[in-house]
């Protein structure tokens, strides 16, 4: 049963309710949700719910209608995110687990691990105990295989998963694996489930060869009742009369299971099909069905593999598959789970960071001295390192992969309007949250090599916007100078410094002059002084709490889509107006992969939290997709 606690319950009252239930023989789990805090009480005993309802601090008691309780969505509304090392499985993520069917030898597992990691896998699989149909087939390397798998996982910074087939192996295996795998043939091996559950470790639970969804969820319940709440379900095809494929992939089970349970569900296209050519299309079908990931077999020499060669992908096929999954993710509102490699972070986070040994980095687009770098400095103190990125996409990738803790990206300019590229990228990165905003006044200087006079200047380099914004100055003071468009303002300053040519000048911000050892010949040459750019500070969801602005949260950014019928947008906007909430920005953008459908971006002045939470609930009901991009403190110049 679900015991819903009153908002104002005291810790003592909560302990009393918990003790009461435990004494009656229930297993009690506390779940803190967005709305309520509840105690889930499950067990063999049954009591009159009214005896619980009468306890101080209890709001109500609701029975769980399903035979599985701890695994049920009735008990826990929010998605469970399973954490395996640094990898998160569940929610909006698509995690790719890859590796051979079985660990065969050192070279094989190291080669495969390196290549799947390089292509985008975040976890490594590999069987050491193989439950084979024939007793004469390769049975796996046992503990030796686990040692090799762990070596490969450590070398390429991936947590590992491997199948456990016997309760007596559980303790030994717990020393090696990061996630246990329960194979299809053992889904109802209840003694094994109990023993594995007791470790409290993450478990990948394959669906049985002929298991109904309910039986599968009951197996998850065994694991949870024994002590783990970290269960990932895996659809791997079921037995049907069809012989064209090894099994029949039951894609429809994925959305069904996600409705019934809060646990993440992934798919195994390799065992589902048994045929290499079917693996990629079925992987995409699994992701399109809403799964939180795939587990796929990859082998460097599938033709010589000791098991499941015919269904193993070549490394190049796997690389292409990950690309395709990445392209598909935004269509289903997901993003590929990416975890930076330890060694790679240091290499890629830029020389700046390495030199100063700074642990926190903020990515921005542009070269050193750019206005975006000014925005980073406005947001953070000097202890935060910077990671200059060539493109906006690179900056998003840096923060998404963890190479940078933050990205600071322009979202709107008072003269040029919204920077659509960044809204679109934000839509493609559901794992990112807006944690703050900063505003930078764009003040252009005429930047030259030291000693240059105005009359020496024959050419002026800048971003087209920079040239346009300084038109009055250029027409008046440098009427004969040629204006040359450059890809960015600070880049133009870098160019002047490199050419060492006194006949050229750049229009950029003062920090660029300083950074490249140049001089500002004239300051503030922009025609319109009210030229501001507003930047979002983005971070991965799990890092969002780390950014501490002193100011109170007073702004919210939201995105949503509505159905294609008359008044649907109006109905949503009415909700905002009816609550007296001030909407400060509204934009619409096309949704990639969905022609003529639009995503709306809204910024609001944040009302009190209660009003905002109610507004969100009401908006969710009137929208097709709904996402709070972030709550943050508004920028003040």
Question: Which among 65, 80, 66 is positioned nearest to 29, based on CA atoms?
Answer: 80
Instruction: Identify residues 74-113 at the interface with Mn ion (CB under 5 A).
Output: 101
| Catalytic residue from among 161, 199, 361, 533 | 533
Least Å from the CB of residue 369 to ligand PEP: 52
Nearer to ligand PEP, 129 or 612 (CB): 129
Least Å from the CB of residue 514 to ligand PEP: 58
List strands edge to edge, sheet with 58-62.
27-32, 37-42, 2-5, 58-62
* Residue 599 binding target from Mn ion, ligand PEP, none, CB below 5 to 8 Å by type: none
Residue with the CB atom nearest ligand PEP in the bound state = 183
* Residue 183 binding target from ligand PEP, Mn ion, none, CB below 5 to 8 Å by type: ligand PEP
Element (H, E) at 508: strand 504-508
> Which 3 state secondary structure label does DSSP give 475?
helix
Least Å from the CB of residue 113 to ligand PEP: 16
Point out which span in 85-93, 302-310, 342-350, 461-469 binds Mn ion (CB under 5 A): 302-310
The question of whether 533 is a catalytic residue gets the answer yes
* Residue 266 binding target from ligand PEP, Mn ion, none, CB below 5 to 8 Å by type: none
Q: Which two tokens stand for residue 400?
A: 């998404």
Contact flag: residue 163 with Mn ion (CB under 5 A):
no
Q: Which two tokens stand for residue 72?
A: 């049920």
* Residue 117 binding target from ligand PEP, Mn ion, none, CB below 5 to 8 Å by type: none
| Catalytic residue from among 396, 535, 600, 601 | 535
Nearer to ligand PEP, 135 or 479 (CB): 135
Contact flag: residue 308 with Mn ion (CB under 5 A):
yes
Contacts (Cβ under 8 Å, ≥6 apart) of 581: 604, 605, 607, 611, 612, 615
C-beta separation of 526 from 446 below 8 A? no
Least Å from the CB of residue 101 to Mn ion: 3
Element (H, E) at 163: strand 160-163
Question: Which among 316, 193, 324 is positioned nearest to 593, based on CA atoms?
Answer: 324
C-beta separation of 424 from 589 below 8 A? yes
Question: Which among 213, 273, 276, 214 is positioned nearest to 249, based on CA atoms?
Answer: 273
Least Å from the CB of residue 297 to Mn ion: 6
* Residue 184 binding target from Mn ion, ligand PEP, none, CB below 5 to 8 Å by type: ligand PEP
Question: Which among 412, 437, 420 is positioned nearest to 538, based on CA atoms?
Answer: 437
Rounded Cα–Cα distance for residues 94 and 75 (Å): 24
Point out which span in 14-22, 305-313, 536-544, 548-556 binds Mn ion (CB under 5 A): 305-313
Least Å from the CB of residue 297 to ligand PEP: 7
Contact flag: residue 619 with Mn ion (CB under 5 A):
no
DSSP structure class, residue 246: S
Nearer to ligand PEP, 271 or 627 (CB): 271
C-beta separation of 375 from 401 below 8 A? no
Question: Which parts of this chain interact with ligand PEP (CB under 6 A)?
Answer: 101, 127, 163, 183-184, 206, 236, 268, 271
* Residue 91 binding target from ligand PEP, Mn ion, none, CB below 5 to 8 Å by type: none
Q: How many CB atoms lie within 10 A of CB 332?
A: 15
The catalytic residues are: 533, 535
Residues making contact with Mn ion (CB under 5 A): 101, 308
């Amino acid at each position: 049963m679900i015991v819903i606690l009153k908002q104002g319950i005291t810790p003592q009252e909560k302990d009393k309710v918990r003790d009461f239930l435990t004494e009656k023989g229930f297993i009690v789990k506390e779940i803190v949700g967005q709305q309520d805090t509840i105690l889930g009480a499950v067990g063999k005993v049954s009591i009159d719910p009214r005896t619980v309802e009468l306890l101080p601090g209890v709001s109500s008691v609701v029975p769980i209608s399903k035979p599985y309780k701890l695994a049920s969505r009735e008990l826990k509304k929010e998605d469970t995110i399973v954490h395996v090392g640094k990898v998160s499985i569940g929610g909006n993520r698509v995690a790719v687990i890859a590796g051979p069917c079985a660990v065969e030898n050192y070279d094989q597992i190291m080669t495969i691990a390196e290549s799947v990691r390089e292509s985008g896998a975040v976890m490594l699989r590999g069987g050491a105990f193989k439950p084979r149909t024939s007793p004469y087939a390769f049975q796996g390397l046992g503990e030796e295989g686990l040692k090799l798998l762990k070596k490969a996982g450590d070398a390429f910074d991936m947590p590992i998963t491997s199948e456990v087939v016997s309760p007596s192996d559980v303790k030994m295996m717990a020393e090696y694996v990061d996630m246990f795998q329960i194979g299809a043939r053992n889904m109802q091996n209840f003694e094994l489930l109990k023993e594995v559950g007791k470790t409290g470790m993450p478990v990948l639970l394959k669906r049985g060869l002929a298991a109904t969804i309910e039986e599968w969820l009951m197996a998850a319940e065994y694991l949870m009742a024994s002590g783990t709440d970290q269960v990932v379900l895996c659809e791997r095809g079921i037995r049907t009369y069809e012989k064209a494929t090894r099994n029949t992939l039951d894609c429809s089970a994925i959305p069904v299971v996600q409705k019934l349970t809060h646990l993440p569900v992934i798919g195994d296209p390799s065992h589902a099909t048994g045929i290499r050519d079917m693996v990629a299309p079925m992987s995409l079908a699994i992701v399109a069905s809403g799964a939180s990931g795939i587990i796929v077999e990859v082998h460097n020499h599938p033709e010589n593999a000791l098991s499941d060669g015919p269904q193993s992908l070549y490394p190049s096929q796997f690389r292409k598959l990950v690309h395709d999954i990445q392209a598909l993710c935004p269509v289903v509102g997901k993003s590929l789970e990416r975890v930076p490699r330890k060694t790679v972070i240091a290499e890629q986070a830029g020389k700046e960071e390495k030199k100063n040994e700074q642990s926190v980095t903020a990515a921005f687009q542009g070269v050193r001295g750019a206005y975006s770098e000014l925005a980073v400095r406005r947001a953070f103190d000097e202890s935060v390192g910077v990671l200059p990125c060539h493109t906006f996409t690179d900056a998003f990738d840096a923060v998404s992969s963890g190479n940078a803790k933050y990205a600071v990206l322009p979202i709107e300019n008072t003269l040029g309007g919204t920077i659509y590229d960044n809204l679109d990228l934000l839509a493609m990165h559901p794992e990112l949250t807006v944690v703050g905003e900063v505003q930078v006044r764009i003040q252009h200087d005429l930047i030259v090599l030291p000693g240059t006079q105005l009359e020496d200047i024959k050419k002026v380099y800048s971003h087209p916007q920079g040239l346009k914004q300084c038109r009055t100055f250029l027409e008046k003071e440098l009427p004969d100078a040629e204006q040359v468009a450059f890809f960015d303002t600070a880049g133009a300053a870098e160019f002047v410094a490199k050419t060492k040519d006194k006949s050229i000048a750049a229009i950029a911000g003062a920090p660029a002059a300083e950074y490249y050892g140049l001089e500002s010949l004239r300051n503030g040459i922009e025609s319109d002084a009210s030229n501001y750019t507003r930047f979002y500070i983005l971070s991965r969801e799990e890092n969002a709490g780390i950014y501490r602005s002193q100011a109170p949260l007073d702004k919210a950014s939201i995105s949503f889509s509505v159905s294609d019928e008359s008044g649907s947008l109006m109905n949503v906007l009415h909700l905002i107006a009816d609550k007296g909430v001030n909407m400060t920005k509204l934009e619409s953008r096309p949704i990639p992969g969905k022609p003529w459908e639009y995503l709306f971006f809204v910024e609001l002045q944040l009302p009190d939290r209660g009003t905002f939470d109610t507004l969100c609930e009401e908006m969710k009901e009137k929208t097709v997709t709904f996402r709070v991009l972030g709550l943050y403190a508004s920028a003040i110049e």
